[in-house]
Amino acid sequence: MSGSTAAPGRLDERLVRTSPLRKLLGRPELGSVVGAAAVFLFFAIVADSFLQASSLGTVLYAASVLGIMAAPVALLMIGGEFDL
């Protein structure tokens, strides 16, 4: 009888339990979130007026302009209609 079964004691790597910390560290988005938090903390410490409402409004306005321009380009790239 020639059955191809896995050796006892060895689990498939997809079935092994992983800790939530290992799952978090494996996410590709973690680097951008940590980078954004580091930039925010840097400017919050260095610039005294960074955490004021007017300054945050200016930052959000600049980010919205870039986001409005980037959203259609991202959709074109996802759809495969535009290559750089």
Angle, vertex CA 45, rays to CA 40 and CA 51, nearest 5: 65
Residue 11: what pLDDT? 72
Domain identity same for 24 and 42: yes
Residue 67: what pLDDT? 95
pTM score above 0.85: no
Residue 62: what pLDDT? 95
Measured CA to CA in angstroms, residue 48 lies from 21, 38, 43, 55, 64 at distances of 34, 16, 8, 10, 23
Residue 10: what pLDDT? 74
Q: Assess contact for 12 and 6: CB atoms under 8 A.
A: yes
Domain assignment present for residue 64? The answer is yes
pLDDT in tens, 3-41: 555 556 677 777 788 888 888 888 889 999 999 999 999
Question: pLDDT exceeding 70 applies to what percent of the chain?
Answer: 86
Domain assignment present for residue 3? The answer is no
Domain assignment present for residue 34? The answer is yes
- Residues in Cβ contact with 10 at an 8 Å cutoff, skipping those fewer than 6 apart: none
